[in-house]
């Protein structure tokens, strides 16, 4: 039996995390532990977790390290506990009883598999599939969620890479040892995509466990098409393109960046009010600016409350 350590990062969403932990208490897989990383919450989360779940490890990071930073704190603890597999699980999820059995079974089916994902349904509509992986084009920066079983059988090739969402990501110890921790420069959004690309570049395969099911409260931590969401998405997407593209000259990359920005602006225009659109434009271009200046980490304070 392979030992699994489940890593859950919490930041001021105590109620969501409790629901996630309660669903984990009902799973069938026997050999697992839970590490809760509290990212400097101010809602009493840490104390509640320590009192209500003494069987779980609770680590206080001391400040908001972002998703990647919190996950890395958990991975280091999992290594100390000699975990065979690390499971990254969003705190705004609920899991099915056998979801972990299916993930582990798939991971152990072939030696070359390094990362495994499953089916993620919406928590507010349990018959609606939110995602089961995705693909990312390192030349254009275009990403797409897979939202059907047919999508999940998609095989990618350069310049397109597959990725597993950090919402539900099982990683073998050997893969972590080989490629290292998550990149904390992203702070939020894109760190899972970059990690999966890095794994594939090192020869690891990604796999999909179709019978592993969880339910996700989508965009609980960051509201989609909010200024801060678009800031992170644009800045971090461009960083991945810069790191992994295979263009022959800088002009090709500049044109790709321009097309990507226009595509995002088009999407925001049709999904936000006029007032929100103008605010989003400002922060999308700030994301591009900070990318060009190599300013990464947490977004500027003015966006955080938006």
Domain range list for the chain: 4-216, 227-304
Which pLDDT tens digit goes with each residue over 186-245? 998 999 999 999 999 999 999 999 999 999 987 555 555 688 888 998 899 999 998 998
What mean pLDDT is predicted for residues 261-278? 69
CATH of 4-216, one of 3.90.550.60, 3.20.20.370, 3.90.230.10, 3.40.50.720: 3.90.550.60
How much of the chain exceeds pLDDT 90, in percent? 68
Whole-prediction pTM value?
0.90
Which stretch of 39-53, 145-159, 227-241 has the lowest confidence by average pLDDT? 145-159
pLDDT value for 271: 65
Band the pLDDT of 302: cuts 50, 70, 90: low
Band the pLDDT of 304: cuts 50, 70, 90: very low
Per the model's pLDDT, the better-predicted residue between 17 and 217 turns out to be 17
What mean pLDDT is predicted for residues 171-183? 98
Q: Are 144 and 169 in contact (CB under 8 A)?
A: no
What mean pLDDT is predicted for residues 255-276? 70
Which pLDDT tens digit goes with each residue over 99-140? 999 999 999 999 999 999 999 999 999 999 999 999 999 988
Above 60 in pLDDT, residue 80? Answer: yes
Band the pLDDT of 261: cuts 50, 70, 90: confident
What mean pLDDT is predicted for residues 256-283? 71
pLDDT value for 158: 63
Band the pLDDT of 273: cuts 50, 70, 90: low
């Amino acid at each position: 039996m392979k030992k699994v350590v489940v890593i859950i990062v919490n930041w001021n969403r105590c109620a969501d995390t409790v629901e996630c932990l309660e669903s984990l208490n009902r799973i069938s897989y026997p050999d697992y532990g839970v590490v809760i990383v509290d990212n400097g919450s101010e809602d009493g989360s840490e104390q509640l977790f320590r009192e209500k779940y003494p069987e779980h490890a609770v680590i206080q990071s001391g400040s908001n390290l972002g998703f990647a930073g919190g996950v890395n704190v958990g991975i280091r603890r999992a290594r100390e506990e000699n975990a065979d597999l690390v499971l990254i699980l969003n705190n705004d999820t609920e899991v099915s009883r056998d979801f972990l059995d299916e993930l582990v079974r798939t991971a152990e089916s072939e030696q070359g598999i390094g990362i495994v994902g499953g089916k993620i349904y919406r928590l507010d509509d349990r018959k609606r599939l939110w995602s089961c992986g995705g693909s990312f084009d390192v030349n254009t920066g275009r990403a797409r969620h897979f939202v059907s079983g047919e999508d999940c059988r998609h095989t990618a090739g350069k310049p397109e890479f597959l990725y597993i969402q950090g919402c539900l990501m099982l990683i073998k110890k050997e893969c972590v040892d080989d490629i290292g921790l998550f990149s904390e420069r992203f702070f939020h959004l894109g760190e899972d995509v970059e990690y999966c690309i890095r794994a594939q570049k090192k020869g690891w395969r990604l796999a999909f466990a179709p019978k592993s099911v969880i339910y996700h409260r989508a965009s609980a931590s960051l509201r989609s098409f909010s200024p801060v969401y678009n800031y992170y998405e644009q800045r971090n997407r461009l960083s991945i393109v810069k790191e992994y593209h295979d263009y022959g000259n800088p002009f090709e990359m500049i044109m790709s960046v321009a097309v990507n920005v226009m595509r995002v602006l088009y999407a925001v225009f049709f999904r936000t009010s006029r007032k929100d659109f103008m605010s989003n434009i400002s922060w999308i271009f700030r994301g591009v600016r900070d990318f060009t200046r190599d300013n990464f980490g947490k977004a500027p304070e003015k966006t955080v409350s938006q």
